[in-house]
Amino acid sequence: MADIFLSYSREDIDRVRPLVLALEKDGFSVWWDGTISPGEKFEETIDREIQVASSVLVVWSAVSVDSQWVKNEALEGMDRDVLVPVMIDSVRLPVAFKQHQAADFTRWPDSIEQDQYQGLVDKLHQLVRGERRDATPVMGIADRATRGRQRYRRKRDIVVPMLVGIVLLLTAVLFISNQGAESTNAKTRLTIDRFEFDAEQQSVFYADSITRELQVNFADVADLELVQIGSLWDLNLLDVPEGVTKTQADYILGGSVAVVGDDLQVSAHLRDAPTGRLVWQTQINEKTSNLLEIQQDIQKSVLGNLNVGTSGQNIAASLAPATLNKQAYRDYLIGQDLLRSGEDQNLREAIGRFESAYSRDENFMLAVASTCRAYIELFRATKAAEDFTAGKQRCKQVLASDQSSAEMRLALAELYLASGETNSAKLEYLETLKLSPGNPDASIGLASVLVAQGDLQGGEELYLKSVRQHPTYWKAQNSLGAYYFRQGMFHRAIESWTRVTELTASSAAAFSNLGAARLFAGNFEDALLALRRSIELDSNSGALANLGSTLYYLGRFEEALQYYKAAIEIDTSDHRLWGNLGDNLRFLEGRDEEATQAYTESVRLAEAIIEINPDDAYTLSRLAVYYAAINRVTLANEVIKRAEILAEFDLNVLYDLAVASVLLGNNEAAQEYVSRALYAGYPAVLIKSDPQLISSKVK
């Protein structure tokens, strides 16, 4: 057992060696990776040594702050309360380690105060004597995963879809359904409450449409800052935390809506937030067909009473509608309502509404942009190349027009993100936030870009900021859950997705996601409960496949087969569904030919996805499994190399590469990938339960 486990970047070896020599001269035993004997397993050796070392000395530098290995090792030290950080470059430390002050060794070894070095020695002596270790049990990698502590991994340009409808599939693959400049204090701060509604179902639609359009339009007023408490983005809201009902706004705009026959009765009022004093109110009785005029009247009155944007030019710009065609506008609003619902089955209906709106007014480019967004969300859910192609065609129309709006910019950003063009996506999300600073979808999308570009710390911070700013917006919570799931923090994912089910109790996708997270956390029975609830709400392909995968891990292959087939009946275009079916059929006697057919279809569909985004590491890793299963050895090996280069720390990619290696008969490589997947956070319970790994004795 070494006194010191040294964590550093290999690129700093010449700068670190003098420190090692000095510590050894002072009587410490130091373990570092240069001491690994030939033939030893790299990750296994590191894991063994770091768990028994008396201290973990991490050397932060301009290089090591970006090293996932160093961050993981530092977290092990922090978990055991034996972390001793030193800094050899003046760098910004990863957020998880800021509470541990690093000794300043930036002038090492040329010039450093003796008392500073002695302080380091004293700290190490304290740990070696065990004065702080006894109270904290040694924890292994699997334990860290269950504690939910943040672990940052460095990734290359991988598109990580984060919205509902997203599916994450393993071998027995699992489905996971997917700011701008700070405002100055001189701006008037306005909160818009969700308009209330009566028992009529149509009243809900009109109330939410008025709320949404007022918020979208007021966001374009330069002298206003919207303080959003989430009401616009609620979906069948069940409960709102007490803190959410409090606001730092100057004014609050609210109202109510009732539908009586063909008439719309709207009440609106503006109150001073600190005192509750009524500033303005109105009662409007109009035909439902005059919804656009009702919204414009409310907006004009509010701007006048707040004395902002009051020049004729500003008001005209703020109130200028995207279309004058009332039926086109109604179709557009219905489409937006469906798009916000987060359910896959509503996306095609939303597309139909947007297409209808555009057919009624060919200058209504907002409808075209929304069609693009709906297709891209559908593509994320289905992985059907034709959905991406359709979305791309609509976005080309937007690009060709001379119009620009936050919605159009957002549509382009979603397109670029889906195709792996992260730099272009980032620019468009930033432009969206300039036009609409409070846009939650743009903030969530920008967070996804940061994660895709390897800035996991920045991405997580932005996801959390989106949740804080829109705590009752289900999509913000859902995206945060998907991020945690991808990073192997399954208990945190469970927390986020449980919150989504509280916000939208009728969402099948939310329960499907929750079931997937519970499965990865090893809670098989709880996973089955959530997945069955999802299927009760809507017989969707994601939940059916996830339920099949849970049964697959339990060794109940005949039962799993029925759910996999049912999933494919709903969606024939997703390569992951066919891959699941192939995996399961291999463990049923006499079904080898059917398995080959399923894998062949998986290959065809996955190759189409790679044409859209050649750097989609997750699809590449799945493709490696499919190629290996049908004995296309050369292609499998080529794809394994590509996927590993793109995502060397992605737990799901590493897992797939282990399975592909097993199918290729390379158990040694499979064992190496399994070790790395576990180190990255892949759940040990699934490794132990995986029929493919069990059969090869890889563990």
- Contact (CB, 8 A) for 621 and 589: no
- Contact (CB, 8 A) for 435 and 406: yes
Between the alpha carbon of residue 200 and those of residues 207, 239, 258, 667, the distances in Å are: 11, 21, 8, 63
Peptide bond into 109 cis (omega under 30): yes
CATH number at residue 655: 1.25.40.10
CATH number at residue 122: 3.40.50.10140
The answer on pLDDT for 152 being more than 70 is no
The answer on pLDDT for 673 being more than 90 is yes
Whether residue 124 sits in one domain with residue 58: yes
Whether residue 192 sits in one domain with residue 44: no
The answer on pLDDT for 29 being more than 80 is yes
What range defines the domain where residue 627 resides? 482-696
The answer on pLDDT for 481 being more than 70 is yes
Establish if 428 belongs to a structural domain: no
Percentage, residues of the chain above pLDDT 90: 32
Model confidence band, residue 350 (pLDDT cutoffs 50, 70, 90): very high
Establish if 525 belongs to a structural domain: yes
The answer on pLDDT for 33 being more than 50 is yes
The answer on pLDDT for 243 being more than 80 is no
Tell me the whole-structure pTM to 2 decimals. 0.62
pLDDT tens, position by position, 75-128: 888 877 889 999 998 887 776 676 677 888 888 766 666 677 888 898 898 888
CA 366 – CA 407 distance, rounded (Å): 7
Establish if 460 belongs to a structural domain: no
Whether residue 229 sits in one domain with residue 92: no
From 114, 139, 164, give the residue that closes a domain. Answer: 139
Whether residue 651 sits in one domain with residue 533: yes
Give residue 99's pLDDT: 66
CATH number at residue 218: 3.40.50.10070
Give residue 404's pLDDT: 72
Establish if 589 belongs to a structural domain: yes
- Contact (CB, 8 A) for 643 and 154: no
Of 32-41, 333-342, 398-407, which gets the smallest average pLDDT? Answer: 32-41
Highest mean pLDDT among 162-176, 213-227, 544-558: 544-558
Establish if 363 belongs to a structural domain: no
From 300, 320, 340, give the residue that closes a domain. Answer: 320
Whether residue 661 sits in one domain with residue 537: yes
Give residue 317's pLDDT: 52
Of 34-48, 78-92, 512-526, which gets the smallest average pLDDT? Answer: 34-48
> In the 3-class helix/strand/coil scheme, how is 34-86 assigned residue by residue?
HHCCCCCCHHHHHHHHHHHCCEEEEEECCCHHHCHHHHHHHHHHHHCCCEEEE
pLDDT tens, position by position, 373-429: 999 988 888 788 899 999 999 988 888 887 777 888 898 899 999 888 999 999 999
Nearest to 377 by CA among 413, 424, 403: 413
Whether residue 559 sits in one domain with residue 656: yes
Whether residue 190 sits in one domain with residue 121: no
pLDDT tens, position by position, 622-665: 999 999 999 999 999 999 999 999 988 888 999 999 999 999 99
Give residue 698's pLDDT: 64
Model confidence band, residue 153 (pLDDT cutoffs 50, 70, 90): very low
Model confidence band, residue 148 (pLDDT cutoffs 50, 70, 90): very low
By three-state DSSP, how is residue 380 classified? Answer: helix
Q: What is the mean pLDDT of residues 535-552?
A: 90
Mean predicted lDDT score pLDDT of the chain? 80
Whether residue 625 sits in one domain with residue 521: yes
Q: What is the mean pLDDT of residues 19-27?
A: 88
Whether residue 238 sits in one domain with residue 94: no
- Contact (CB, 8 A) for 465 and 303: no
666 phi/psi in degrees, rounded to 5: -100, 75
Give residue 633's pLDDT: 96
Model confidence band, residue 582 (pLDDT cutoffs 50, 70, 90): very high
Highest mean pLDDT among 1-5, 34-38, 165-169, 527-531: 527-531
By three-state DSSP, how is residue 285 classified? Answer: strand
Whether residue 205 sits in one domain with residue 285: yes
Model confidence band, residue 670 (pLDDT cutoffs 50, 70, 90): very high
Establish if 475 belongs to a structural domain: no
The answer on pLDDT for 303 being more than 70 is yes
Establish if 383 belongs to a structural domain: no
Establish if 623 belongs to a structural domain: yes
Task: Please give the tally of structural domains in the chain.
Answer: 3
CA 450 – CA 440 distance, rounded (Å): 15
Of 113-122, 129-138, 144-153, which gets the smallest average pLDDT? Answer: 144-153
CA 195 – CA 173 distance, rounded (Å): 42
Give residue 399's pLDDT: 84
From 320, 354, 381, give the residue that closes a domain. Answer: 320
Map tokens 């970006």 to a residue: 66
Whether residue 630 sits in one domain with residue 684: yes
Q: What is the mean pLDDT of residues 522-533?
A: 91
Instruction: Give the other-Cβ count within 10 Å of 690's Cβ.
Output: 24
Model confidence band, residue 46 (pLDDT cutoffs 50, 70, 90): confident
Between the alpha carbon of residue 590 and those of residues 587, 593, 594, 596, 597, the distances in Å are: 9, 8, 9, 12, 13
**Residue type for position 483:** Y
When comparing pLDDT for 29 and 38, which is higher?
29
By three-state DSSP, how is residue 260 classified? Answer: strand
Whether residue 281 sits in one domain with residue 207: yes
Q: What is the mean pLDDT of residues 545-558?
A: 92
pLDDT tens, position by position, 424-454: 999 999 988 888 877 888 999 999 999 988 8
CA 333 – CA 212 distance, rounded (Å): 9
**Residue type for position 591:** R
The answer on pLDDT for 132 being more than 60 is no
pLDDT tens, position by position, 258-279: 988 888 899 999 988 877 788 8
669 phi/psi in degrees, rounded to 5: -65, -40
Nearest to 650 by CA among 622, 623, 680: 680
